[in-house]
Amino acid sequence: MLNRMLVVAALCTLAAAPAAQEKAAVASKDATVLTFKLHYLEAGHGAPVVLLHGLGGDGSRWTPNVEPLVKDFHVFALDQIGFGQSDKPLANYHTGMLAEFLEDFLKAVHVPKASLVGNSMGAGVALYTAVHFPEVVDKIVLADGGGFRSPDGARSAPPDPRRRQIQNSVTREETREFFRILFHDKNLVTDRLVDDQLAMRLRSAFAISKMQEAGDRGSLTEEQVKGVKAPTLIVWGKYDELSSPAGADRLERTIPGSRKAIIDNCGHMPQIEKADEFNRIVRAFLQGGST
């Protein structure tokens, strides 16, 4: 029951609460990239680590992870362009655009190289950055996301129309339905969580729709992913209903030297649903031998 309460609190944007910020000494800041504001949370000292949220989320999604990581790392939890408190240009969003803004963000905060920890869409951004901007990447952690096109150009099965609709939810009913897909423990989907997440997703509805429409724009080939040099950890919820754990197997087979961890009793967001285990695995990986 206590774990359930902590998970719900994390998804209800506790990162914005003064008490939470005081405990972890988290600073709320803004950077400017191409005249656009990028909002982020910053805490800690040491090797830089950037946390990248999924579609429709923001940096507050990482509330359960910031404090454990700041013991050893300089942590940035970014609201990616188009999401959260960052600016939302009316653009044709795709993974490549987010990765380019990320690279410029690192320059803006004077970080020449960082480890990237991404969930879902954020994992795709981390992987794209490792391919196209390897000089700014130390290590990458791909949590329930990241992938590449089939080598023969075959398209995957079209997404379920209902699931695509509720992914850009605009009502409480749609939001509740979608988050019951994201979490293995359905009891985590409370009324408070639904209201907070609906408000967050409405603010980013344009970017969500454009990411859905992007198709192959900003996608990667298998050969590009095979060329990733950054040490890579793949973390996946065993019962992810949105992105099959088969995706973790595919990435592990393709990225040279990558490691894989499957978290039991967990869905699409292990950093929240199983925060303690996720934090332990990720910290151990990031603390590993130098790259």
Structural domain tally of the chain? 1
In sequence order, what E strands does the chain have?
27-33, 36-43, 47-52, 73-78, 114-119, 137-143, 232-237, 259-263
Q: Give the mean model confidence (pLDDT) for residues 120-137.
A: 98
Q: Identify the pLDDT of residue 272.
A: 97
Residue 189 lies in a domain: yes
* 188 inside domain: yes
- pLDDT-derived band at 17, boundaries 50, 70, 90: very low
Q: Is 291 inside any structural domain? A: no
**Which range, of 131-145, 153-167, 168-182, 185-199, averages the lowest pLDDT?**
153-167
The pLDDT confidence band at residue 151, using thresholds 50, 70 and 90, is confident
Confidence bin at 7 (pLDDT 50/70/90) = low
- Kindly tell me if the per-residue pLDDT of 23 is higher than 70: no
In the set 74, 94, 184, 268, the catalytic residue is 268
For 99, the domain range is 2-149+159-286
Reduced 3-state DSSP string for 52-111? ECCCCCCHHHHHHHHHHHHCCEEEEEECCCCCCCCCCCCCCCCHHHHHHHHHHHHHHCCC
Tell whether 281 is covered by a domain.
yes
110 labelled catalytic: no
Residue 70 lies in a domain: yes
pTM confidence score: 0.92
Would residue 127 count as lying in a domain?
Answer: yes
pLDDT band at residue 15, thresholds of 50, 70 and 90? very low
CATH of residue 237's domain is 3.40.50.1820
* Residue 102 placed within a domain: yes
